[in-house]
Amino acid sequence: MTEVLHCIGCGAKIQSEDPKEVGYTPASSLEKETIICQRCFRLKNYNEIQPVSLTDDDFLRILNGLGEQKGLIVKIVDIFDFNGSWLPGLHRFVGNNPVLLVANKADLLPKSVKPKKVINWLKKEAKVLGLQPIDVLLVSAHKGQGMEEVVEAIENYREGQNVFVVGCTNVGKSTFINRIIKHATGEGNIITTSYFPGTTLDMIEIPLDDGSALFDTPGIINHHQMAHHIDASELKYITPKKEIKPKVYQQNEGQSLFIGALARFDFIKGERSAFTIYAANDLPIHRTKLEKADTIYEEHKGELLSPPSQKFIDQLPELVRHEFSIKDGKTDVVISGLGWITVQHPNVVVAAYAPRGVEVFIRPSLI
């Protein structure tokens, strides 16, 4: 029988298969007398947080744990994948604790998007989803935009209590925490892992000035995220790295657009009209006739229509059709995790296709 090993830092079960999962340690380090997982190693030596993900059960235990603590909850979402990165039910678990909603990756939004409009939209959506955040802030953890304001808001709203940072994997939580670490800890300050009742993984604890602490909870996998349907090697094609450059298409009814093999957008009915696509700049867009779209998809997915490439196309769930009859002009058809298409003119019927499980919805245009 193989011996079960545990990390001396966080106590997680050691494994060498998946770098993104809890307890990952490269096989070459398993021979050592004391074993520390890669995450704790980096934390200890470089004061750097690495993302890990948890199972749904672990997630529920963590959420339950939060309700029993007193403190400020900082919930991070990806502005570009708002629905995919939402943590459903969080409001039920946090009890009376206030929630500060932080929308990350603001640097991806085109300059024409008004931050105030985005914040109002976020507030409205949060309310619809059952959460009444104490405040909503827009940041870019990557660029450092808005981070001063977040640190200030945390200080204001926590009222001397602990802070718990929660979020799905891929929202940029590690990038965010690493920024906070730089801000909050001076030279020589030690970050620790600390036991958190009821969870399999201890939380990373960053001491704050007054004896309380900021805790980083492990990233949670949300199965609706587009990112989970894409192989890690191809994620770079759908994850925008830079400000999105909108692409405008003048379409007649009966025309379709493919975004790689990941999504399709049909113009079913209406006057000749402009549609603007906001998605990662490198994603190839193909225009075709609606009547031929099914055949083209079947014959060319993974090749002409990619990503995903041929190698990974079978992992992609089938595309599901969502039809919208749009009465008002300037409406966004959002495909969570991929981007959105702004319908510029009123009175059109369109249909968007996205992999099963990925949310598709409409909202008044952010621009």
- 162 pairs with which residues across the strands? 71
Residue 10 tokens, joined = 């966080």
Closer Cβ to ligand GDP, 85 or 288, answer by number: 85
Q: Which of 169, 200, 217, 365 binds ligand GDP (CB under 6 A)?
A: 169
In angstroms, how far is CA 274 from the centroid of its own chain? 29
Closer Cβ to ligand GDP, 115 or 346, answer by number: 115
Considering only residues 129 to 148 of the shown chain, the ones binding ligand GDP according to CB under 6 A are 140-142
| 170 sits near ligand GDP (criterion: CB under 6 A) | yes
Question: Across the chain, where does the E strand assignment appear?
Answer: 53-54, 71-78, 99-104, 135-138, 162-167, 192-194, 203-207, 213-216, 219-220, 247-251, 255-259, 263-269, 273-279, 285-289, 319-326, 331-335, 339-343, 348-355, 360-364
Q: Which of 58, 81, 107, 266 binds ligand GDP (CB under 6 A)?
A: 107
Q: At what angle do helices 147-158 and 173-184 cross, to 10 degrees?
A: 80
Q: Which of 133, 146, 172, 337 binds ligand GDP (CB under 6 A)?
A: 172
Considering only residues 201 to 230 of the shown chain, the ones binding ligand GDP according to CB under 6 A are 219
Q: Are 339 and 314 in contact (CB under 8 A)?
A: no
Q: Which of 37, 94, 108, 109 binds ligand GDP (CB under 6 A)?
A: 108
Q: Is 160 exposed, middle or buried (0-12, 13-18, 19+ CB in 10 A)?
A: exposed
Residue showing tokens 């470089």: 46
Closer Cβ to ligand GDP, 100 or 352, answer by number: 100
**Residue 297 dihedral angles phi and psi, to the nearest 5°:** -60, -50
Considering only residues 240 to 259 of the shown chain, the ones binding ligand GDP according to CB under 6 A are 241
Considering only residues 48 to 77 of the shown chain, the ones binding ligand GDP according to CB under 6 A are 51
| 42 sits near ligand GDP (criterion: CB under 6 A) | no
Number of residue whose CB is nearest ligand GDP: 172
From CA 205, how far away is CA 162, in angstroms rounded?
A: 10
Least distance to ligand GDP, CB of residue 305, Å: 24
In angstroms, how far is CA 8 from the centroid of its own chain? 30
| 171 sits near ligand GDP (criterion: CB under 6 A) | yes
Least distance to ligand GDP, CB of residue 275, Å: 24
Interacting residue ranges for ligand GDP, rule: CB under 6 A: 51, 104-105, 107-108, 140-142, 167, 169-175, 219, 239, 241
